[in-house]
Structure 1
Amino acid sequence: MSERAAPFYCPYCGEEDLRPGEEGHGAWECAGCNRAFRLKFLGLLARGLDGPDTEGKRI
């Protein structure tokens, strides 16, 4: 298992000075705008490669 993925920049201000938050897994704090946010992986989409942009054709 790999380590958790880290965001490259703050989604609010774009600053790169981020630190893991104290709120637990997925929580991050931005030193630039003093905001805290949480990242969460929701899962894979059920449609897979047969999405509307492929028009039902296999790649």
Structure 2
Amino acid sequence: MAGEADKVKGGAKEAAGKVTGNDRMEAEGKTEKAKGEAKNAAHDVKQGAKGAADSLKKD
């Protein structure tokens, strides 16, 4: 999906920040994960709207 790469990258950054005690890196990781989740949600909405439009065209 659209945001999986951001979620994975963010998770790695967050974990590295926790291990090293780097609060900034941990926060950046959390932000990237949230960005990935938002991209996935937007993609899901777009797919749902496309499905609804396609079903209306069939009638």
Band of TM-score, shorter chain: under 0.3
- Structure with bigger helix share is 2
Q: TM-score, normalised by structure 1?
A: 0.23
- Structure with bigger strand share is 1
The structure, 1 or 2, with the larger RCO (C-alpha pairs under 8 Å, 6+ apart) is 2
